[in-house]
Structure 1
Amino acid sequence: MSDLNRGVLYGASAYFLWGFLPLYWPLFSPPASAFEVLLHRMIWSLAVTLAVLLVQRNWRWVREVLRSPRRLLLLAASAVLISANWGFFIVAVTTGHTLQSALAYFVNPLVSVALGTLVFRERLRAPQWAAVALGGLAVAVLTVDYGSLPWLALAMAFSFAAYGVLKKFVRLDGVESLTAETAIMILPALGGVLVTEAAGSGTFLSVSPVHSLLLVGSGVATAVPLMLFGAAAHRIPLTLVGLLQFTVPVMHFLIAWLVFEEELSTGRWIGFAVVWAALTVFVVDMLRQARRTPRPASAPVSGSTAETG
């Protein structure tokens, strides 16, 4: 198998695993709350990434990070953002709002582009402006249909896009970054688990061995797709990475519609149709630009395309 084909296999596997995540988190609810699941996800994700780094003997970056207060501050901010993103996602898929998760990851590339103009002073091409405008129109249509802002979707999209901006400054790979972020959150996470267990609302040891293993498995569910993505990122072009990432919201949409049977009113169909039109404009422009300025397969990948869900 060629290196490119291997990269496609790794990338597709990562995004398909992320796409199936809405089926994993509802396994805990009830009896576990979304907050407790989030705490365990932080703890066991750190355990998995530390095991990976131990095998790789990859610790040099730790000293470099500890010597830089600026990077530590950025990592602390990114840790808060990715934890919030995880929390919003778990709440969405455990409370019957998986469609909002799909919407979040459909509009995320558009939010990232918009943030690029604000933070990095990037200039948008006319098709990109059109895609962003259509994305805004889609949110307006869905707001009318829902009767209020789809706040879960917007919270996920903006927290993840802001997280991607910070990742550009931190400059760590996926496993290193996830290790640092979960290490920063480990004390609050452990404290939260101890408090919930002491209060009698914790479920880690009181439900069943299967339930406990599923909570531990939340770390594997978080880290494995990320490692597959890291293996793919150095083997396939950025354009292909960008196209593969759209499998995630498509799968979330299908799961919400076909598995969870969430309501899809006429207004929601129209809203998602506008989102898909925006992404069509966005992808066509991305492909045209890629043909004009081809990039090598080994180009570094923006942090905004990883650690989804």
Structure 2
Amino acid sequence: MMSEEQKGILYAAGSYVMWGVLPLYWKLIDGIQSYEILAHRIIWSLVFMILLVFFLGKTSELKIQTKSLFGEPKQALSLFIAAVVIAMNWGLFIWAVSNDHVMQASLGYYINPLMSILLGLFFMKERFTKVEWLAIALAAAGVFYMTLSLGVFPYISVLLAASFAIYGLLKKNIRIDAIYTILLECLFTLPFALIGLVYLKSINMSHFGMNQDSFILLFSGALTAIPLIMFTAGARRIPLSLIGFLQYIGPTLMLIQSVFLFNEQFTITHLITFGLIWTGLILYSISKIMTYRRQKRI
């Protein structure tokens, strides 16, 4: 019989593995425009979430929580902005994979926890430890070194990290269950998805029909929703410090794929850049574990 913590580890690790192998999935349809893939991802995620809520018998709870959300305009606005931000994050990630920038995407998700710390400083007035300052400085040094060495700012990495960190910040104070927020986020961005698909259809550039690509687009909804649900189930059962370790599964899998499957170059510049960021993340993780243990003793 598995303990609740073991189940939590399994759920959380499973969600990060699914996120980590997403590049393989998007590569199957990299001949399709990124916007069309994004639009279908939004639509089929919404369909999947509606079916899930219906089969779980939670339609009445959805109505109650939605009414509660719109009873607080600030929360509703935060969720709408979060929906737009995560859609932009999805779109940029799909574009990065389609254009052979999986390594930059990987770098972005390594930077993400440190970007979240920065947002915590500016918007939540959180205090940093010296170790956390050092971790951020090392990550910044890594990005700066790559920019100087390659002559190109890693904008994909920074935008992916920033958008996901902003999304997390916006969701921090939204007081409705994750299953409903995912559904509402897709609902908020549905008009943009539909307008885009109608336009593509009008100029005969739509790929959706009776073909293999259409089935891949169709299942993108489940592939989006399932890891989010698994992550939510895992996060409720295990400490935040453990989540902090497990979250590096995703970008590590992306990095491995970029080098060994997609033949992206991993030069000495990349090694130094990733090395600086990895060192920062190790220090940050150790700091969080020590803080968690101290709080547990108290």
Letter of the 1:157 counterpart: A
3-state SS of paired residue (1:24):
helix
Report whether the alignment pairs 1:159 with 2:160.
Answer: no
Correspondence 1:23-172 to 2 at 5 A: 23-30=24-31, 32-56=32-56, 57=58, 58-59=61-62, 60-172=64-176
The question of whether the paired residues in 1 share the 8 Å contact of 2:69 and 2:176 is answered with no
Residue of structure 2 in register with 1:9 after alignment: 10
Residue of structure 2 in register with 1:256 after alignment: 258
RMSD: 1.2
- Distance in 1, matches of 2:176 and 2:279, equals 34
Residue of structure 1 in register with 2:268 after alignment: 266
Residue of structure 2 in register with 1:216 after alignment: 218
3-state SS of paired residue (1:293):
helix
Query: What's the TM-score, normalizing by structure 1?
Result: 0.92
Letter of the 1:25 counterpart: W
CA pair 202-145 structure 1, distance change in 2 beyond 3 A: farther
The question of whether the paired residues in 2 share the 8 Å contact of 1:145 and 1:268 is answered with no
Q: Deviations over 1:50-86 (max 9, x none)?
A: 1111123131211111222222211111011001100
- Distance in 2, matches of 1:45 and 1:146, equals 38
Letter of the 2:191 counterpart: L
- Distance in 2, matches of 1:232 and 1:10, equals 5
- Distance in 2, matches of 1:15 and 1:173, equals 20
- Distance in 2, matches of 1:294 and 1:34, equals 46
Letter of the 1:7 counterpart: G
Q: State, as a whole percentage, how many aligned pairs show the same letter.
A: 35
Report whether the alignment pairs 1:184 with 2:188.
Answer: yes
The question of whether the paired residues in 2 share the 8 Å contact of 1:173 and 1:230 is answered with no
- Distance in 1, matches of 2:148 and 2:182, equals 37
Correspondence 1:235-250 to 2 at 5 A: 235-250=237-252
The question of whether the paired residues in 1 share the 8 Å contact of 2:135 and 2:283 is answered with yes
- Distance in 1, matches of 2:276 and 2:259, equals 18
Unpaired stretches in structure 1, ≥5 consecutive residues: 296-309
Runs of 4+ in structure 1 over 2 Å off: 171-174
Letter of the 1:3 counterpart: E
Correspondence 1:284-295 to 2 at 5 A: 284-294=286-296
- Distance in 1, matches of 2:103 and 2:123, equals 29
Letter of the 1:252 counterpart: M
- Distance in 2, matches of 1:234 and 1:191, equals 37
The alpha-carbon deviation at position 275 of structure 1 amounts to 0.8
The question of whether the paired residues in 2 share the 8 Å contact of 1:81 and 1:163 is answered with yes
3-state SS of paired residue (2:238):
coil
Unpaired stretches in structure 2, ≥5 consecutive residues: none
- Distance in 1, matches of 2:226 and 2:286, equals 31
Letter of the 1:44 counterpart: W
- Distance in 2, matches of 1:134 and 1:111, equals 12
- Distance in 1, matches of 2:5 and 2:226, equals 20
The alpha-carbon deviation at position 146 of structure 1 amounts to 2.9
The alpha-carbon deviation at position 177 of structure 1 amounts to 1.4
- Distance in 2, matches of 1:16 and 1:74, equals 29
Q: Deviations over 1:106-127 (max 9, x none)?
A: 0100010011000011110000
Q: How many pairs align?
A: 292
Residue of structure 2 in register with 1:305 after alignment: none
3-state SS of paired residue (2:219):
helix
Residue of structure 1 in register with 2:235 after alignment: 233
3-state SS of paired residue (1:262):
coil
The question of whether the paired residues in 1 share the 8 Å contact of 2:241 and 2:285 is answered with no
Query: What's the TM-score, normalizing by structure 2?
Result: 0.95
- Distance in 1, matches of 2:38 and 2:286, equals 37
